Amino acid sequence: MAAAVATLLACCNSKKTTDETLTTKPAVMWVDAEANYARFNNADSIDKYVDMVADLGFTHLAVDARPISGELMYDSDLAPRFKGMRNVVEPDSTLDYLGHFIERAHDRGMKVLFSLNVFCAGHNFFDKGLIFTDHPEWASMVQDPERGIVPITAMKHKADKYGAMVNPIIPEYQTYIIDVMKEMLTKYPEVDGLILDRGRYDGITADFSDLSRTEFEKFLGKKLENWPDDALKIVRTESGRDSLIRGEHFNDWIYWRSKNITDFLAHARKELKAVDPDMIFSLYSGAWYPSYYEVGVNFASNTYDPSGDFSWAREDYKDTGYAELIDLYMTGNYYTDITIEDFENNPDPIWNETDFEGHTGDWYCVEGSCKHLRDILGPNKFLGGVLVDQLYNDIDRLPESMAMNVKESDGLMMFDIVHVINANIWDKVREGMIQSGYIPAENN
C-alpha cells in the first residue's frame, strides 16, 4: 500500500513544467456544497473558479456531493436533490453540477474527488435531511447530563450539534451509505475518487443507543449492570461545565468504537474498489490525534502503538489503525499557531470542533502536528489541511501556514474556496502557492 500511495502522490501534480524547483505534491481545493451552491449553480461560475484554482497550481478539487443534510448534488433515487439549506436554490435544469466540475477540471489537468459526509444525514438547525423525514431511527443517541440519553436531534441548543449524526454501526445505514457511494461512481465514472468526511462518531457523548449497548455487551461477553456508567458518564459540575467520568470499561469502549469505524472503512473500500478499482479512496479527519479517540477515530498506521503515550489506548488499540486503508489521506492542521515557537509563546488551550475538553502541547500547531503525524502514520502519506477563515485576523500568515504544511507533509488541502472568495484573498493564496513551490515566482 505504501508504495502505491507514493506512486499516486508522485503522479498527482498535473502541472507540466521543466522547473525542478516546483513541487509534485498534491494540492487540493475544497468546494463545500452548503456555502458555495448558490454561487456555483451555473456553468460560467464553475468555469471561472476552476480556471482560477488551476492557474494557482492546485492539482485536485474536492467537490462536495453529499452535504451534511444527507441530500445529494444530483438526481438520485436514494435521497432528495440539494436545493440549499433553505430550499431556495432551484437547480439549473440544464446543468449537471458534478459532471461539469469534472469536465472543466479534467480539461485543466486537475483531478476531481467527490466528498461526502458519511455518518451524517441531517442538518440539526434546519430540521433538514433523512433523519428528519424518513429515518429518525438513524439518529445517534447521545448523553446529556440533564436529560439522559436522547436523540441528537433534541440537542439543538448545542452549537457543536449542527450535524445530525447517525449511529455508525446501524447495518441498514451502512448498506445505504455504501449504495450512495456506489451510485456516485456509477453515475460519474469519470470522477477520480471519493473523500469520506465525518467518518466518525459524533463525539465522546455518542452513541448510547440500545443497539450500541447490545453490541458492546457482545464484544465484552458480559451484561452491563450500570449502563452507560460502565463505559462513561457525563455530569454537570457546579461551574456549569460538563465533566467526563471514565467507567470500568472506558478503554474497552474506546477500542470497540474505533474498531467499528475501521471495520466499516475496510468494508467500504472493498465494495467501492469492486465498482472502480482505480478510484482514489480518500478520507479527511482532524489532525488532533491525542483527542480523536473521542469520536472513534484511529487514523494512525497499525504499526504505531499509542498505548505507551495515551491512557485511553489498550495495547491492541493499534490494531484499529486505518492508515493503510487510505489512498489519499487529508488531515486538518487547523491551528492559528504555525511554528513550534508560536505554540511555546501561546499557552492557551486549544478546542477543536470535536473536543470535549481543551488541550495543549506542540501537537496543536502546524509544524508540531506534522512532525507527530509522521511518527504515527509511519510510511503512509498525508496532506496538511488549512482552514482559511481561521487566519482572517492574521491573513498575512496564510502563505506561511500553507508553506509549512507543504514542507512538513506530503501536500496541501485548503478548506474552503468560499473563504477565499468572500475575503477576496486570492493574492495571499497565490503567495502561499509560490512559497510552497506550486507556481514559480515569476508568474506572480
What percentage of residues in the chain have a pLDDT greater than 70?
95
Q: Distance between CA 291 and CA 318 in Å, rounded? A: 15
Q: Is 212 exposed, middle or buried (0-12, 13-18, 19+ CB in 10 A)?
A: buried
What is each CA distance from 441 to 37, 303, 392, 435, 436, in whole angstroms? 33, 40, 24, 8, 11
Beta bridge mates, 139: 166
- CATH superfamily to which 2-443 belongs: Glycosidases (3.20.20.80)
> 3-state class of 91 per DSSP?
coil
pLDDT digit string, tens, across residues 173-224: 999 999 999 999 999 999 999 999 999 999 999 999 999 999 999 999 999 9
Closest to 268 (Cα-Cα) out of 119, 140, 65: 119
What confidence score (pLDDT) does residue 8 get?
A: 52
What is each CA distance from 47 to 96, 135, 173, 259, in whole angstroms? 13, 37, 36, 42
Q: Distance between CA 444 and CA 431 in Å, rounded? A: 8
Pairing of strands 193-197, 163-165: unpaired
Cell of 20: 525542478
* Mean pLDDT in residue range 63-92: 92
Cell of 381: 502519506
pLDDT band at residue 10 under the 50/70/90 scheme: very low
pLDDT digit string, tens, across residues 213-263: 999 999 999 999 999 999 999 999 888 889 999 999 999 999 999 999 999
pLDDT band at residue 17 under the 50/70/90 scheme: very low
If one counts every other C-beta atom within 10 angstroms of the C-beta of residue 398, the result is 24
What is each CA distance from 19 to 109, 272, 442, in whole angstroms? 18, 37, 12
What is each CA distance from 375 to 226, 300, 368, 369, 385, in whole angstroms? 38, 9, 11, 10, 18
What confidence score (pLDDT) does residue 19 get?
A: 43
Closest to 50 (Cα-Cα) out of 115, 110, 116: 110
Each domain of the chain, given as residue ranges in start order, spans 2-443
Strands (E), 250-327: 280-286
State pTM to two decimals. 0.94
Q: Rg of the chain's alpha carbons, rounded to an integer? A: 21
What confidence score (pLDDT) does residue 7 get?
A: 45
User: CA-based angle 145:146:151, to the nearest 5?
Assistant: 80
Least confident of 170-174, 343-347, 390-394, 431-435: 343-347
pLDDT at 282 over 90: yes
pLDDT at 18 over 90: no
Q: How many residues does the chain have?
A: 444
Strands (E), 207-339: 232-236, 242-246, 280-286, 328-332
> 3-state class of 387 per DSSP?
strand
What confidence score (pLDDT) does residue 13 get?
A: 43
> 313, 321 in Cβ contact below 8 A?
no
Cα torsion 431, 432, 436, 439: sign: negative
User: What is the chain's mean pLDDT, rounded?
Assistant: 93
At residue 25, what is the residue type? K
> Quick one: angle between helices 398-408 and 366-377, nearest 10?
20
Which one is predicted more confidently, 383 or 8? Answer: 383
